[in-house]
Homo-oligomer: A and B are copies of this chain.
C-alpha cells in the first residue's frame, strides 16, 4: 500500500502521470525507474488501434442482403459511443509481446458486444425506469429494429472470434478461452447483472451501489478486454491476471468518471485509489508499450 500511496502522490491532474515501474523479475533484475506518461503523447497509438478496429468492423459488416438487417447493424456499430475496452484488448496483447493482428478480431467482437448492450439499454419499454445517468438519445430506428439488431450482433461477435481461429497456428485453445471470458463478462454475472441493478434499483444511488454497477459493467468489460488481449498475445498466467485486475480498475475509473458515477463528487477519492491500484498491476511489465497502456488510467 505504501507504493500505492507513493504512486498516488505522483499523479497530477493535467493528463500527465509520472509513476514508478519495476521491471519484470523474470526479464531483468528489479529496479525502480520513473516513467513519464502523457495522453497526448500516446494519442497516435490509440488513433491507430481504433482505426484498425473500425476498418475490421467495416470489412466484416458489408452492406449485403438482408439490407434491412445489415444497414442498421453497420450504422449502430459505427455510431456507438466510444468505449476504451477494444483498444485496451489490443494494448494488452502488444504489452505481453503479441502482435496486433492477433487481437483485432477480438477487439472488434468486444465492440459489437458493447454496442449490443448499449442499444438494448436504450430501448424504450413501457415499464422501464430511466436511470438518472441515462441521456436522452436519438433513436435512428424503430424499437423493433433496435431489439432485433443487437440480437444479431452478439452471435456475429462470436462468429468473428470463431473465424479468428487459424488452424496453421494451433491457436484454438486461446480462442476458446477468449470466448469463455467474453461470454462470462457479457452474461448473468457480468454486464447483465450490472444492467439489472442499474435499471431495477434506481432508488438506491449511494456510492457503494455505483461502485458495484461500475464493477459489473465497465469494470467487467475492460477486465475481460485486457485478459483476452493478454491470452491472445501469449502472456503468462501471472501477466494475464495482472492485466485482468488492471482492466477492472480502468473500467471502474471510466464508469465513475464518464458513466453513472460522473456527477458524484464523493467518488473522486475512490477514482484516485483505483488509479493507484491499476498502476501497481503494471509494475512488473516493461517494453515500449508500457507507457501507452498506462495512460488508460486517465482515459
Query: A residues engaging B (CB < 8 A)?
Result: 65-66, 68-70, 73, 116-117, 120, 123-128, 142-145, 147-152, 154-156, 158-159, 161-163, 165, 167, 172-173, 175-177, 179-180, 182-184, 186-189, 191-193, 195-197, 199-200
- A202 shortest CB reach to chain B, Å: 11
Interface of A is mostly: helix
Q: In whole angstroms, how far apart are the Cα atoms of A149 and B199 in the complex?
A: 13
Q: In whole angstroms, how far apart are the Cα atoms of A148 and B147 in the complex?
A: 11
Q: When A127-B142, A163-B180 are in contact, do A188 and B73 touch as well, CB less than 8 Å? A: yes
- The answer to whether B193 and A144 touch across the interface, beta carbons within 8 angstroms, is no
Contacts of A154 in B (CB 8 A): 151, 154-155
B66, B123, B125, B176: the one contacting A193 at CB < 8 Å is B66
Q: In whole angstroms, how far apart are the Cα atoms of A73 and B193 in the complex?
A: 12
- A3 shortest CB reach to chain B, Å: 34
- A213 shortest CB reach to chain B, Å: 12
Contacts of A127 in B (CB 8 A): 142-144
Q: In whole angstroms, how far apart are the Cα atoms of A188 and B154 in the complex?
A: 10
Closest to A179 in B: B162
- The answer to whether A173 and B167 touch across the interface, beta carbons within 8 angstroms, is yes
- The answer to whether B173 and A187 touch across the interface, beta carbons within 8 angstroms, is no
- The answer to whether B184 and A155 touch across the interface, beta carbons within 8 angstroms, is yes
Q: In whole angstroms, how far apart are the Cα atoms of A148 and B200 in the complex?
A: 11
Q: In whole angstroms, how far apart are the Cα atoms of A143 and B200 in the complex?
A: 12
- The answer to whether A147 and B125 touch across the interface, beta carbons within 8 angstroms, is yes
Contacts of A144 in B (CB 8 A): 125, 127-128, 199-200
B69, B124, B183, B186: the one contacting A192 at CB < 8 Å is B69
Closest to A171 in B: B172
> Considering the complex of A and B, which 7 residue pairs feature the smallest CB-CB distances, nearest first?
A172-B172, A159-B183, A152-B192, A155-B183, A162-B180, A155-B187, A152-B188
Given contacts A66-B188, A162-B176, 19 further A-B contacts (CB under 8 A): A66-B189, A69-B188, A116-B151, A117-B151, A120-B147, A123-B147, A124-B126, A126-B126, A126-B143, A145-B196, A148-B195, A151-B186, A151-B192, A152-B186, A152-B192, A154-B154, A158-B183, A162-B183, A176-B176
